[in-house]
Structure 1
Amino acid sequence: MQRVTITLDDELIAELDRFMKGRGYQNRSEAIRDLARAGMQQARVETSDSGDCVAALVYVYDHTVRELAKRLADAHHHHHDLSVAAMQVHLDHASCMEVALLRGATQEVHHFAEHVIAERGVRHGRLVAVPVEVKQETHAHGKDQAKRHPHIHVRHAG
């Protein structure tokens, strides 16, 4: 194990200390190691140009922004091959939160998410993607005759 020295501003240290207390970390090194691992794992998924993924795109938008709801719906329709399902929650008189479940080529899912998040009136957006492998498998379910259909298997981080 190597020792490294980093410099953090007071606000970030206070936030780190609150994070540690809330999660039960014993020291800053443990917390920073876990945060670094999580960040690097997410970065690997985000920069992966190959393979498929399943993902949750969460975003908050102002539905009073002209035509925004229509533009978002149109985006999902234009990418119906990626959009599996969506759920919307009204937060207040103007704000809506939507959770969109996506599945497809990692690069296409990220491109779609970036497009949605960049729309004027979208206030917050985050994509959580999980790398998967889609395999065609043949077997029966219950008393049904065996048939070939896709199964989605989570790829383990390397």
Structure 2
Amino acid sequence: MPIISLSIPRELLYKIDRYIRERGYFSRSEMFRDAIRNLIEEAEYMSRERISSTIMITYDKDNLSVSKVISRLNHEYNDIIIESIHRHLGNEYCIDILIAEGERERIADLLRKVRGIHGVYHIKHMFIPLE
């Protein structure tokens, strides 16, 4: 197997090593191979015409503007959003989970708009090919 070199900041290296220990990887190389495979797999999924996607959004429960924008997006993209879940996480946060199915470009447009919402703490997404 070819060997490559990678330069990263020390603080990131500490986080990587902690991640490796917590998840049971045998080596940094194993963790990087796994991460790169996942990255390439996601890019390949995005090359398909029809995909399914899960988009998870967390934000402060008192930030009503985020909730309003997500509600508006639910209506604007009701042709691809097949499920929308809203839950409270503890006393401070909300999570909205959007499950979408349809044309890749339409889902990518939805994700771009979600990423543009001011006041969101975290956005995680996953793509699955439908073809």
TM-score by length of 2: 0.87
One of 48, 71, 75 as aligned partner of 2:73: 75
Which structure is larger by alpha-carbon Rg, 1 or 2? Answer: 1
The structure that is strand-richer by fraction is 1
SS in 1 for 2:7: coil
Paired residue type of 1:84 = I
1:62 and 2:63 are equivalent in the alignment: no
Residue in 2 aligned with 1:102? 100
CA deviation profile, 1:81-104 (whole Å, cap 9, x unmatched): 111111111125553111111111
Residue in 2 aligned with 1:25? 25
Aligned length: 131
CA deviation profile, 1:99-135 (whole Å, cap 9, x unmatched): 11111111111110220221122221122111112xx
Please tell me whether the aligned partners of residues 65 and 121 of structure 1 are also in contact (alpha carbons under 8 angstroms): yes
RMSD: 1.8
The structure that is helix-richer by fraction is 2
Q: Distance in 2 between matches of 1:10 and 1:124?
A: 24
Please tell me whether the aligned partners of residues 56 and 128 of structure 1 are also in contact (alpha carbons under 8 angstroms): yes
Question: Identity of paired residues, percent?
Answer: 24
Residue in 1 aligned with 2:126? 128
Paired residue type of 1:88 = H
Residue in 1 aligned with 2:13? 13
SS in 2 for 1:119: coil
SS in 2 for 1:12: helix
Residue in 1 aligned with 2:109? 111
The structural deviation recorded for 1:53 is 0.8
SS in 1 for 2:84: strand
The structural deviation recorded for 1:56 is 0.6
Please tell me whether the aligned partners of residues 52 and 100 of structure 2 are also in contact (alpha carbons under 8 angstroms): yes
The structural deviation recorded for 1:54 is 0.9
Which structure is richer in relative contact order (CA contacts within 8 A, separation 6 or more)?
A: 2
Unaligned runs of 5+ in 1: 134-158
TM-score by length of 1: 0.73
Residue in 2 aligned with 1:53? 51
Unaligned runs of 5+ in 2: none
Please tell me whether the aligned partners of residues 59 and 117 of structure 1 are also in contact (alpha carbons under 8 angstroms): no
Q: Distance in 1 between matches of 2:18 and 2:129?
A: 31
From the superposition, tell whether residues 7 and 106 of structure 1 become closer, same or farther in structure 2 (CA, over 3 Å).
Answer: same
